[in-house]
Amino acid sequence: MFKVAQELIGILGIDQRRLRLEWVSSSEGARFAEVVTGFTEQIKELGPCGLKQAA
Amino acid sequence: MAELANLIEATSTYFCLDCGVCTGSCPVARVFPQFSPRQIIERSLYGIEDFSDESIWDCLTCAQCSVRCPVNIDFPEFVRLFRDEAHGRGYSGVPTHNGMLQSIWAIQTMDIQQNRTFWVQEGKVAEKGDIFYFVGCRPYFDVIFRDIDAGSIKGAQNVLKILNACGIEPVVSNDERCCGHDALWNGDEETFKRLASINLEIIKASGAKKVVFSCPEGYLIFKRFYPKYFGDLGFEPVHILDFLAEQLKEGALEFKEYEGVVTYHDPCRLGRMAGIYDPPRELIMAIPGIEFREMTRARENGVCCGTSGWINCSGYSKEIQVERLSEAAATGAGALITACPKCQIHFRCAKAASDLEVDIIDLYDLFSANLNISQ
Ligand code: SF4
Ligand code: SF4
């Protein structure tokens, strides 16, 4: 399902790096923080998505 | 309720004779007896129908009832207008696939740079020209329904191959949007209008005088509903089957031998709603060696593929689909030919869950595989 969603946003012209799927168990607090921080940084780097209503 | 009165007025449902022909003809009512178009109309006429009524979303809008109604009540149109009003009050059907399709068409109302023409690999296309090929949602379907081997893109590639073989290099646009058919039948007129106006702009910019469709829904919506909302389009919507039937008459199309027995499923948008019954049959029968057999329910009586507008697909849909596939198999045909990318998806989905032997083949895949390309 994730692969499908990623391919679809690709066709829609949305950067595929904006979508990510990671599995983190409840015992991996440090890893959870790492994944979320990493993803947040990536999104910040990419900047605003820029989706706006077509004129 | 004033809105209900408007709806009745707009579709002249007050002519209803209460005869029950609609319910008696309805494929949904047959498998789900609580659903009754007659009762929906009666409740509306008595002013006791409510826009929260969930059953309005179960209708397939297939027009089996309306072609038989003795007083020509256009029930699918009644349903469309009813849904539009209900949508405005916050009601909706149950979206299939977790609303993925609804999200995809909503995003297409935005200012986006799509990558939807990735499938054009071998064929010849143009940036500008007289003829525009409106591909429709096949690029998206191909990804979503890969697990049931929908083969949606192969269909588009084959349509292009056929057009090229007829000497046409159509415009294929990366900026094309969903035609809005489903948004409109989901009661979301706003989204429909947004999608439609973007499409009209893009086609205008291409300079096309004719827009060719292989998708029955796209064709119907451009032919009947775009002019209703936008007036004169400035181009002519053409269904590829009408065009190919002409080519066949002029002797410009030639097919190779095909050995086998096939039957054909009339899509409701193409048949009952657009009146295109003969061209697909003429073209199929022009393939030498092919044996064509009709199902019992064909043409005006061709039963719907069981679900529409990506809402309310249920066990009842599956029952309608499996019954239809059995009907196809009962003709002795080895293949059921479909002319609509969605019918194809729905039947392939139902087939995956049954042990029926009949193949499901896209009409354009059949034509393209058997085309004698002389040029
Ligand atoms: S078939 Fe027409 S006249 Fe008869 S009940 Fe249905 S809507 Fe009314
Ligand atoms: S449009 Fe089709 S599904 Fe809807 S009420 Fe009529 S026959 Fe039934």
Ligand 2 centre from B213 Cα, in Å?
25
Is pLDDT above 90 for B2? no
Where do the domains of chain A lie?
Answer: 2-45
- Yes or no, beta carbons of A13 and B118 under 8 Å apart: no
pLDDT tens digits, B283-320: 999 999 999 999 999 999 999 999 999 999 999 999 99
Same domain, B36 and B176: no
Give the number of A-B residue pairs with CB atoms closer than 8 Å: 46
Domain count, chain B: 3
pLDDT tens digits, B348-369: 999 998 889 899 999 999 999 9
- Yes or no, beta carbons of A11 and B139 under 8 Å apart: yes
Q: Residue B374 domain-assigned? A: no
Same domain, B143 and B259: no
Split at pLDDT 50, 70, 90, the class of A55 is low
Same domain, B109 and B237: yes
Q: Residue B375 domain-assigned? A: no
pLDDT of residue A49: 86
pLDDT tens digits, B123-147: 999 999 999 999 999 999 999 999 9
Split at pLDDT 50, 70, 90, the class of B374 is low
Is pLDDT above 60 for B375? no
| CATH code: domain of residue B324 | 3.40.50
> Is B36 a pocket residue for ligand 2 (Cβ < 6 Å)?
no
Q: What is the average pLDDT score of chain A?
A: 92
pLDDT of residue B1: 54
Per the confidence metrics, is the pTM higher than 0.90? yes
- Parent domain of B167: 97-245
pLDDT, mean of residues B184-199: 97
Q: Please, are residues B211 and B200 in contact by the beta-carbon 8 Å criterion?
A: no
Is pLDDT above 90 for B81? yes
* B56-B302-B310-B368 Cα dihedral, nearest 10 degrees: -160
- Yes or no, beta carbons of A55 and B111 under 8 Å apart: yes
Residue A6 to residue A34: CA distance in whole angstroms: 22
Ligand 1 centre from B294 Cα, in Å?
28
SS3 B200: helix
Same domain, B218 and B133: yes
Radius of gyration (C-alpha) of chain B in whole angstroms:
20
Ligand 1 centre from B45 Cα, in Å?
12
SS3 B190: helix
Q: What is the average pLDDT score of chain B?
A: 96
Same domain, B236 and B283: no
Residue B371 to residue B208: CA distance in whole angstroms: 26
